[in-house]
Amino acid sequence: MNFGGTIRLNRIGVCIIIGVFVLFLLYMSSNSSGGDAKVPVVKDVSDNNSINLRKLLIAAIQVAEKGGKEVVAVKKDNNLDEKTKGKTKEGVNDPVTKADYKSHCVMYYSLKHWFPTLKVISEEHSSEKDCSNLLFLDLDLNPNTVTSSSISLPDEMIPPEDITVWIDPLDATKEYTGMKHNLGIENLLEYVTTMVCVAVKGKPIIGVVHKPFGVEPKTSWAWFAVAHTPNLKPINEAIKNISEQAFGKNVEVISAAGAGYKSLEVATGNVTAYIHTTAIKKWDVCAGNAIVESLGGKMTTLTNEQLNYSDTNVVNEKGLLATMAKHDWYLNRLSPSKVKV
């Protein structure tokens, strides 16, 4: 008994001695390097070993807007050269137009031009030689004109292998072509968006959604925990705090098209939930996911999982729910027994 006690005491003693020694070593090492504390070196985009997220955001805004210009130009030309990519699982015709490809060309190859080591996944595919008149040389990566000068953005360097960029060169193609649909709303072009999303280690960090049509083309973006465009005001606390009972009353189901459009409606508090019950591709939802979560909301599958944007499995089969408040309440209401996923 006594022997054991002694050992225990000795152990404590040894621990204390080791602890003091470690502290001493730490003190020595911190002292020796204290004079020349490492200053983070801000590298340029041309460095292939790290990518500056600030510059990537600025490039993402510009390519979304350039893609949008192509989308508008093709529509004005009225020569969409519409084809079908086949039918979706739900048996709906999945159209693709010249605008999808033109927008893809300018968005994808501009990003690859400026960030050669970047992994970019686009909804469309097209070789560089099939892209005529590529104009990617005039991206301005240091402007205050792209983001408002009142927003200051930090330089954040990320290794390219941690980044996956998802682009959707034209979301809501069906509405863009004016194909028959059941929404009963006249101007379908409001649903059309071009999108860029930056995921870091699978988490959507930056979302850019550009609406090329309308009175004035509009770009909304958010960078998680850093900044967002002023039109995306975080929703009022009182709305978040509204009782579940109130949510249950007066449910109005609004039909809309375009995952980008719908995510923005949630992020701005115009609708309380965006629900998708069939399969959806990650380029459709990544940018909206980044924006909704940057503003304090949530986007999950209907089985309450976060989407991981680092893997190249592009289809999410588990449905989708985006909300700014009461996410669990909606999820319970939408549990797989009630909604067929």
Ligand X SMILES: *[C@@H]1O[C@H](CO)[C@@H](O)[C@H](O)[C@H]1NC(C)=O
Q: Where do contacts with ligand X occur on this chain (CB under 6 A)?
A: 46-48, 116, 201-203, 237-238, 241, 254, 270, 308, 310-311
- Nearer CB in complex with ligand X: 19/116: 116
Q: Which CB sits closer to ligand X, 176 or 224?
A: 224
Beta-strand relationship, 193-200 and 320-323: unpaired
Residue type, 45: V
CA distances from 122 to 107, 134, 166, 260 (A): 9, 17, 6, 15
Contact yes or no for 321/275 (Cβ under 8 A): yes
Tokens of 323: 């909300």
Residue type, 301: T
Task: Compute the least distance from the CB of residue 289 to ligand X, in Å.
Answer: 11
Task: Give the pairing type, strands 320-323 and 298-300.
Answer: antiparallel
CB of 163 to ligand X, least distance (A): 12
- Choice between 39 and 238, CB closer to ligand X: 238
Residue with tokens 């900044």: 227
Of 116 and 178, the one with the shorter C-beta distance to ligand X is 116
Closest by CA to 117, choosing from 165, 153, 156, is 165
Least separation in angstroms between CB 202 and ligand X: 3
Cα 316 to Cα 174: distance, rounded to the nearest angstrom: 20
Q: Is the dihedral of CA 123, 170, 69, 76 positive or negative?
A: positive
Give 150 or 245: the residue with its C-beta nearer to ligand X.
245
Residue 271 CB, nearest approach to ligand X (Å) = 6
Residue identified by tokens 């071009």 is 194
Distance of CA 199 to the CA centre of its chain: 7
Minimum Å distance from CB 175 to ligand X? 14
Q: Are 101 and 174 in contact (CB under 8 A)?
A: no
- Helices marked H in 89-178 — which ranges? 98-114, 173-177
Q: What one-letter code names the amino acid at 257?
A: A
- For ligand X, which is the closer residue by CB, 146 or 271? 271
The number of helices, as runs of H, and strands, as runs of E, in the chain is 9, 15
Q: How far is the CB of 256 from ligand X (least distance, A)?
A: 6
Measured distance CA(110)–CA(108) in Å, rounded: 6
Minimum CB distance to ligand X smaller for 232 or for 280: 232
Residue 242 Cβ vs ligand X, minimum distance, rounded to whole Å: 9
254 versus 339: smaller Cβ distance to ligand X: 254
Least distance in angstroms from the C-beta of 59 to ligand X: 16
Residue nearest to ligand X (CB): 202
